[in-house]
Amino acid sequence: MAAQSKGKYYITTPIYYPSDNLHIGHTYCTVMADAMARFKRALGYDVRFLTGTDEHGQKIQTIAQKAGVSPQEYVDKVVDGIVELWDRMEISYDDFIRTTQPRHVKRVQEIFKKMYENGDIYKGEYEGLYCTPCESFWTESQLVDGKCPDCGRPVEKAKEEAYFFQISKYSDRLLKLFKEQPDFLQPESRRNEMIAFVEQGLEDLCISRSSFDWGIPVPIDEKHVIYVWLDALTNYITALGYPDEPDLYEKYWPADVHLVGKEIVRFHTIIWPAMLMSINEPLPRQVLGHGWLLIDGGKMSKSKGNVVDPVKLIDRYGIDALKYFLLREYTFGQDGVFTNEVMLKRMNSDLANDLGNLVSRTASMIEKYCGGYVPDKGAEEGPDGDLMATLTGAASKVEDHMEQFKFNMALEEIWVGIRRANKYIDETEPWILAKDGSCKERLDGVMHNLAEAIRIISILIHPFMHSTSAEIRKQMGLWFAEPQWEDATVFHMMNGEQVKKGDAIFPRLDIEKELEELSKLNGKQDEPADGGKALELKEEIVYEDFDKLDLRVGTILSCDKHPKADKLLVFQVKMGTETRQIVSGVAQYYEPEDTVGMKVVVVANLKPRKLRGVESKGMILFADNVVDGNERVEFVTTVADDGNAVT
């Protein structure tokens, strides 16, 4: 019986730039969206899951030119590879939108016209600092160290006639949205950043380009093409047929969640809602920003040559092992470091040892002690009650974690059940029961309980690892039935299923050997970012030295230049109920207004002192970072709430 529909659920990934093959960072986002889509389907929602590609813009045009092909030929080839990757990974998307598809092109033009007719678009001249790879104009104050704040590359002055979107018209409504609908953007630190960004004053947004032509023509002036972000963001509704074929739109819009990387949260929570306000359409319910997968402390990018190819990992370890690792290892919203070693260790400990062993031990014992058939339940005794409670209680805990996109916690909850079942084998010692004919009834009861535990686990892992779930169910004689989520809350459903032990679902890996193989396959990936140069560090300290520091999280309320010293900035930092004035020598790295709203870590028990006549109580922590060979100083930030000790 199919679960009763709980209503609709519309989830989207960003549409990826087909400038090159996708790497594991992109895969991470799509795997999360897929797990959530499968999970909601299992709960009985009518799910729509959209992904796609963002194919226009100067960057693609330039790459295609260099490759000696037309932009369309170029993107067609890369997009084929992306579709193949998602198909190989069995990503369960319902629609794949390409921004070059006629359905999208005509609808974007309609949307542009609507915004124009509503009086929100005007023609002007744009002069600004342009980052070509990011297709973004920046103001002087937004640059970091004079470079693009998103990618750190140099920007150049550019000027052109252009159409503008009067986004500032919607500032008040945007602020109201952030303040009245806290769920729209989580966590709080990101929301504060966006509020600070809007409060700083929104400049009208340049939404057309005339210096290149690989884009959707502006419908009222064909010399221009539509700015790539306006083109891209609308995909979430053009894919639903807005405005001319609105059936799906009426059914699924507004989106329940736009899942995006943290660097594009601003586009999704400021520009996109303002565009929807301009065309009088409802806003998405939630935008969730995930962290980046880093390698050697930096973001993966083809130009740095440090990307991890998901295809190589799937070929070697299988789809489910990779999906499990990505969902289990990283905390949603935070950056995480990818290393082969951590991945392999997790695959061995959680998959080969915990899950794999549980299934293979149980299947062989049922074959050996029960003639290959799952026995009926026996009288409850010993650890049975605890096993049942842990397993049947897991589904609702998984639901709670998934509600908050805590994939790692959801999986951990399932693994609590798996480890409980393994412990149950050690506690009940079936091999000893098997030696004594008078214990046959208990032995059967134990085997039944283990089969039940595995049945429940197979349901719980289904949204995350559907092939493994199916394989386990097949080995346990359950292969003919579709897993139903509600069945994970009930014990004692099995009796008489024929068990057939198969190959190990996750073979144990020889980590040393695998590391060698992977470094051969991936080349540079495990080398240090600075090409092997050792870090130059200060003298080593002992724990007692470190323990003297009282570290607190604070929020920067305001920041001004020091009246007498060019290198110093004067911050007002809120920590709990207290507001502290702290002076730091970072004026060359940050514009004061860019720091407002940031969560920082403060040494709160540092003796106060005056710096060029201005009192400073405490110290804000900064750390050196090397990006693309350039050293820069960065805030130590956190997503925690104010006033917490950092331990």
Rounded Cα–Cα distance for residues 390 and 418 (Å): 9
Binding string, residues 24-43; x marks residues near ligand MSP by CB under 6 A: -xx-xx--------------
Measured N-to-C along each axis, helices 357-370 and 407-428 cross at an angle, to the nearest 10 degrees, of 30
Task: Confirm or reject binding of residue 14 to ligand MSP (CB under 6 A).
Answer: yes
Residue 217 has φ and ψ, to the nearest 5°, of -60, 140
Residue 52 or 445 with smaller CB distance to ligand MSP: 52
The CA–CA distances, whole Å, from 562 to 313, 569, 612 equal: 52, 5, 9
Asked if residue 81 lies in contact with residue 311, where contact means CB atoms within 8 angstroms, the answer is no
263 belongs to the binding site for ligand MSP (CB under 6 A): yes
Instruction: Specify the residue, 292 or 571, whose C-beta has the smaller distance to ligand MSP.
Output: 292
82 sits near ligand MSP (criterion: CB under 6 A) = no
Among residues 26 and 466, whose Cβ is nearest to ligand MSP? 26
For residue 463, say if its preceding peptide bond is cis, omega within 30 degrees of 0.
Answer: no
The b/e string for 457-478 (b: 16+ C-beta within 10 A; e otherwise) is: bbbbbbbbbbebbbbbbebbbb
Residue 300 makes contact with ligand MSP by CB under 6 A: yes
Contact between 15 and ligand MSP by CB under 6 A: the answer reads yes
Q: Write out the two tokens for 454.
A: 């595995």
Could you tell me if 634 and 149 are in contact, meaning their C-beta atoms sit under 8 angstroms apart?
no
Question: Of these, 299, 462, 552, 580, which contacts ligand MSP (CB under 6 A)?
Answer: 299
CB of 483 vs ligand MSP, minimal distance in Å:
30
- Please tell me whether residue 54 binds ligand MSP under the rule CB under 6 A: yes
Adjacent-strand bridge partners of 610: 615
Nearer Cβ to ligand MSP, position 300 or 457?
Answer: 300
- The nearest distance, CB 300 to ligand MSP, in angstroms, is 4
For the CA atoms of 210, 212, 217, 220, the dihedral, rounded to the nearest 10 degrees, stands at 10
293 is a contact residue toward ligand MSP (CB under 6 A): yes
Our finding on whether 56 is near ligand MSP (CB under 6 A) is no
Please pick, from the candidates 130, 137, 164, 292, the single residue that binds ligand MSP as defined by CB under 6 A: 292
In this structure, are residues 291 and 312 in contact, taking their beta carbons and an 8 Å threshold? no
Q: Which residue is nearest to ligand MSP (CB)?
A: 261
Angle, CA of 82, 84 and 88, to the nearest 5°: 120
Q: Which stretch binds ligand MSP (CB under 6 A): 203-211, 258-266, 408-416, 587-595?
A: 258-266
Rounded to the nearest whole angstrom, what is the least distance from the CB of residue 305 to ligand MSP in the complex? Answer: 14
By CB under 6 A, the residues from 226 to 245 that bind ligand MSP are 232-233, 235
Residue 622 as a binder of ligand MSP (CB under 6 A): the answer is no
Tell me whether residue 29 is exposed, middle or buried, using C-beta atoms within 10 angstroms of its C-beta: 0 to 12, 13 to 18, 19 or more: buried
Q: Please, which residue, 271 or 414, has the CB nearer to ligand MSP?
A: 271
Can you name the residues that pair with 631 across neighbouring β-strands?
A: 626
Total residues contacting ligand MSP (rule CB under 6 A)? 20
For residue 322, state whether it binds ligand MSP (rule: CB under 6 A). Answer: no
- Least distance from ligand MSP to the Cβ atom of residue 12, Å: 8
Of 376, 477, 353, 523, give the one whose Cα is nearest residue 425: 353
Which range, of 23-31, 217-225, 461-469, 581-589, touches ligand MSP by CB under 6 A? Answer: 23-31
Q: By CB under 6 A, name the binding residues for ligand MSP.
A: 14-17, 25-26, 28-29, 54, 232-233, 235, 260-261, 263-264, 292-293, 299-300
